[in-house]
């Protein structure tokens, strides 16, 4: 439909708050139908990035196209084709689940009959058919989140933005949200942008992930690409028989192996290596070539968490101090 084949495309996107740069020159291309993850520590600028893409904040410089429309020049066109589930819970507690969805549909100008049909289907999809007539105030956090996902889909958007949809949910509710997103992907060609700082979530769901830190994208790729990009963080545990000292020397010399340690006096060795799965057959060959023998082998692949730490470092993020009003104080913490 649009000349632009990408669902989201940004160019040198920048957002400054005063002299603090929250998003610092982001170039991004999300393909249609993709489930794209934005991963990053607190204050990395994920929400700010999503807010620019969803027309809530004007970019300081650079440009962004969502479904082919420029967010700064044609915000209304963008709004019509995106669904947004913001980080804060935004459903109305005083309305029923069904009313929330239905009124939201009215905001998009969805016709009455269409609204009824879709609301019914969506509430069923998120498992709230039975509770649709209850006030949202009586929902649990997980139910409320699922309702908001249903609400965000009432106008059949092309691109769905979810900003930390599982934050504060219990493991069951998180799984329910995951299942929902997976079902969405299977059954439609919707593009999904998912913000999270849970590694397992990104790993399970996302086709590609961008790791964001200090307003920049510092790594981008499929989960396995990202992992193989981290040097020497696969761990291989070997038990060998034979001339252990000699085996160690041989292994140390093998390409791709970064470190070999002997654990205890038996033949238990710990290796740090790149791309362990491909390395193992060769290592076994090397050991056998010098008349050694491998009795047990155990590979621990690098987790995305390791990748995350490897890219973003261990230090806590020092965010700029938020301005607090001298007259009214901070009040409640803002959901940003």
Q: Which residues bind ligand ATP (CB under 6 A)?
A: 17, 20, 22, 40, 42-48, 87, 197, 319-320, 322, 336
Q: Write down the least CB distance from residue 78 to other proteins, Å.
A: 9
Let me know: does 26 contact 49? Beta carbons within 8 Å.
yes
Residue 40, contacted partner among ligand ATP, other proteins, Mg ion, none, CB below 5-8 A by kind: ligand ATP
Alpha carbon 112 to its chain's center: 35
Query: Which sign, positive or negative, has the C-alpha torsion 114, 120, 124, 128?
Result: positive
User: Which ranges constitute the DSSP H helices of the chain?
Assistant: 46-53, 75-81, 97-107, 112-125, 141-152, 171-187, 199-205, 223-228, 244-253, 276-289, 304-312
51 interacts with other proteins by CB under 8 A: yes
The residues binding Mg ion (CB under 5 A) are 47, 87
Q: Minimal distance in Å, beta carbon 113 to ligand ATP?
A: 38
β-strands 35-39, 208-213 pairing: parallel
Interface map 78-97 toward other proteins (x if CB under 8 A): -xx-x-x-xxxxxxx-xx--
Closer residue to Mg ion (CB): 47 or 233:
47
State which residue, 20 or 107, has the beta carbon closest to ligand ATP. 20
Within 13 Å of residue 110, how many CA atoms lie on the same side as its CB?
24
By CB under 8 A, the count of residues binding other proteins is 35
Q: Which does 56 bind (CB under 5 to 8 A by kind): other proteins, Mg ion, ligand ATP, none?
A: other proteins
CB of 319 to ligand ATP, least distance (A): 4
- Rounded distance between C-alpha atoms, residue 54 and residue 49, angstroms: 9
Q: How far is the CB of 57 from Mg ion (least distance, A)?
A: 13
Could you give the CA distance from residue 228 to residue 307 in angstroms, rounded to a whole number? 9
Task: Please report the DSSP string for 132-183 in residue order.
Answer: TTSBGGGS-HHHHHHHHHHHHTTT--SEEEEESTTTT--HHHHHHHHHHHHH
Residue at token pair 């498992």? 127
The listed partner (other proteins, Mg ion, ligand ATP, none) that binds 302, CB under 5 to 8 Å by sort, is: none
Binding mask 309-328 for other proteins (x = CB under 8 A): ----------------x--x
For the stretch 185-188, contacts whose Cβ atoms lie closer than 8 Å and that sit 24 or more positions apart, written own/partner, are 185/33, 185/35
- Tokens 């509770």 locate to 131
Contact string (CB under 8 A) for other proteins, positions 92-131, x = contact = x-xx---x---xx-xxxx----------------------
- Which residue, 83 or 267, is less far from other proteins as judged by CB? 83
Q: Please, which residue, 104 or 308, has the CB nearer to other proteins? A: 104
Closer residue to Mg ion (CB): 48 or 250:
48
How, if at all, do strands 61-66 and 257-263 pair? unpaired
135 binds other proteins (CB under 8 A): yes
DSSP-assigned letters across all residues of 11-48 = EEEEEEETTEEEEEEEEEEEETT-EEEEE--TTSSHHH
Q: Which does 318 bind (CB under 5 to 8 A by kind): Mg ion, other proteins, ligand ATP, none?
A: none
Residue 17's binding partner among ligand ATP, Mg ion, other proteins, none (Cβ under 5 to 8 angstroms by kind) is ligand ATP
Under the binding rule (CB under 8 A), the answer on residue 139 touching other proteins is: no
Q: Which residues bind other proteins (CB under 8 A)?
A: 51, 54-57, 76, 79-80, 82, 84, 86-92, 94-95, 99, 103-104, 106-109, 135, 148, 151, 325, 328, 331-332, 334-335
């Amino acid at each position: 439909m649009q000349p632009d084949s990408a669902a989201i495309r940004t160019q040198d996107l920048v957002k400054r708050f005063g002299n603090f740069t929250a998003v610092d020159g982001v170039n991004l291309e999300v393909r249609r139908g993709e489930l794209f993850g934005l991963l990053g520590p607190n204050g990395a600028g994920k929400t700010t990035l999503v807010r620019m893409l969803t027309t809530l904040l004007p970019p300081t410089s650079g440009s962004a196209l969502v479904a082919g429309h420029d967010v700064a020049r044609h915000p209304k066109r963008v709004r019509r084709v995106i669904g947004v589930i913001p980080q804060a819970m935004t459903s109305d507690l005083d309305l029923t689940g069904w009313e929330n969805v239905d009124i939201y549909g009215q905001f998009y100008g969805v016709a009455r009959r269409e609204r009824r049909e879709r609301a019914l289907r969506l509430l069923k999809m998120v498992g709230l058919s039975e509770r649709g007539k209850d006030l949202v105030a009586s929902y649990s956090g997980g139910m409320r989140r699922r309702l908001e996902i249903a609400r965000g889909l009432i106008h059949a958007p092309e691109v769905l933005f979810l900003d930390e949809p599982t934050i504060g949910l219990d493991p069951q509710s998180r799984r329910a949200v995951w299942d929902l997103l997976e079902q969405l992907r299977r059954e439609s060609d919707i593009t999904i942008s998912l913000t999270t700082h849970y590694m397992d979530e990104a790993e399970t769901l996302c086709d590609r992930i961008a790791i964001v830190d200090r307003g920049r994208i510092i790594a981008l790729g499929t989960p396995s690409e990202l992992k193989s990009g981290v040097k020497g963080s696969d761990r291989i545990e070997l038990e060998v028989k034979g001339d252990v000292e000699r085996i160690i020397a041989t292994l140390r010399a093998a390409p791709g192996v970064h470190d070999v340690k002997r654990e205890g006096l038996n033949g238990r060795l710990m290796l740090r290596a790149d791309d362990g799965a491909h390395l193992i057959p060769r290592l076994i060959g090397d050991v056998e070539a010098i008349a050694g023998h491998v009795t047990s082998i155990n590979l621990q692949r690098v987790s995305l968490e390791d990748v995350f730490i490897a890219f973003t470092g261990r230090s806590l993020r020092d965010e700029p101090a938020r301005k607090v009003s001298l007259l009214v104080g901070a009040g409640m913490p803002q959901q940003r």
